[in-house]
Amino acid sequence: MAEEIKEAADKAKNKSARPTVSAILSDGSLAEMVYRPEESRTMFCLLKDGKLLYEAALFDKGQRLVPYSPRNNLLSNEVALFPSETTEYGTEQELIESIRAFIHRYVDVSPLFEQIASYYVLFTWVYDAFNELPYLRLRGDTGSGKTRFLLTVGSLCYKPIFASGASTVSPLFRIIDSMHGTLIIDEGDFRFSDEKAEIVKILNNGNARGFPVLRSESVNGREFSPKAYTVFGPKLVSTRGFFQDRALESRCLTEETGGRKLREDIPINLTAEYKREALDLRNKLLLFRFRNFNKHHVDPALVDRSIEPRLAQIFVPLLSVIENADARKALHEVARTYHRDLVADRGMDVEAQMLEIIQEIKQDPYSQGLAVKEIAERFIARHGEDFERKVTPHWVGNVIRRKLGLKTERRRDGYFIAAAEGMKLESLSEKYGIISESPESVNSVNSVKSVQGHEGEIQL
């Protein structure tokens, strides 16, 4: 009878328990799940009052927290990886060097991206201290080493979640929402357009805190109700081509693969030793998380005003966890390179072509204003044959108003870009890399030339 009562009590206790992989308790303590497959055991590692403790379960605010079962399918199939304990790592620089050595041993990428990946691994273990973050992405054809990179670097990240080719997108929302870990995903694993569209939703909403994805969920197998899934967190992504969404492209730190011969010292197969090394590093990184939780924050002094705000937004969190000055300098240069590439890509847009013509008219001393008719005439003469459809003044006007967002006003001679749009024009020109000269600077140049021509007093 006593055994039956005890069994019933255990069932009731388990029913009220909440499976958890990590938590910040009400007293500020940080708890992280560890997994020991050789013992078929999971437990919590807890930092409390400066001491590391191991607990089978935790109680917080009247709620019993338990770790995932060691028989959980995600753990037994290594879809999600966890540390087994905490291990001393020495200094932060020694930890970074160990991470980089591991990546170098198993992956062939450029030295700069190898360094970026090392710091990104470190960043994932404290990512929840930031509100925005970048993604790490490899782009290249099949057989160019993308999968090896995802496996190797992903195995070191904070609570990595591996989305394999057998996956469907639907459970990913739930897994990310429950684990708040690092998603490792190969776009090529998802064959259908609707699946890829769902992946893009995760990527578009997942780089900034506070933008959950809403999905309709069945309640009791009948009615549907919306549910919000948090998808914010670090992500490692591999793709064959570019994302169609430029905003999504700008969130990725990208390495092009397949451009060189594979290093001969790279092992063809991953062994049990590889898994042991990865676990050892995860154990060290767990201790790094305990020691550095809530210590890293965005450093405003690292904002580079010479690049686009969106790019600066995703680079600053990564820069904020880098202590090495040379590494920071190198990453700053990467950010500027990304900025230059974005500007160069925009130079092919119809918006950029339109802005070039607008700037030409602005600098024309005989211009009576930015007439839509004159802009259309110049655009049609220069670019009209580049389009399959007929380019009309009406179409040009729509580009000016809708794509560039410039207001127009009707005058006696037709429609003109409003005079109040001067500041917006300058901002757009800078964004699209269009070099503009103000009328004052043009007149100044003309004045210098005329003075220069007077009795040779000023020499070029």
Residue range 32-68, pLDDT digits in tens:
999 999 999 999 999 888 889 999 999 998 899 999 9
Residue with the bigger pLDDT between 451 and 261: it is 261
pLDDT of 10 > 70? The answer is no
CB atoms < 10 A from the CB of 403, how many? Answer: 12
Closest CA to 183 of 231, 139, 216: 231
- Report the pLDDT value the prediction gives residue 241, as an integer from 0 to 100: 81
The confidence score (pLDDT) of residue 390 equals 82
Closest CA to 321 of 122, 173, 184, 454: 122
Query: Which tens digit of pLDDT belongs to each residue from 232-246?
Result: 999 999 988 877 776
What mean pLDDT do residues 74-100 have?
Answer: 94
> Average per-residue pLDDT in the chain?
82
| Structural tokens at position 448 | 């210098």
Nearest by Cα to 378 from 388, 364, 409:
364
pLDDT-derived band at 435 (thresholds 50, 70, 90) equals low
Instruction: Grade residue 8 by pLDDT with cuts at 50, 70 and 90.
Output: very low
Highest mean pLDDT among 150-159, 216-225, 376-385, 448-457: 150-159
Of residues 412 and 322, the one with the higher pLDDT is 412
Whole-number pLDDT of residue 447 = 33
Domains of the chain with CATH codes: 2-74 (no CATH), 92-345 (3.40.50.300), 350-452 (1.10.10)
**Whole-angstrom Cα distance, residue 8 to residue 1?**
11
pLDDT of residue 192 exceeding 70, the answer is no
Give the Cβ contact number of residue 104 at 10 Å.
Answer: 18
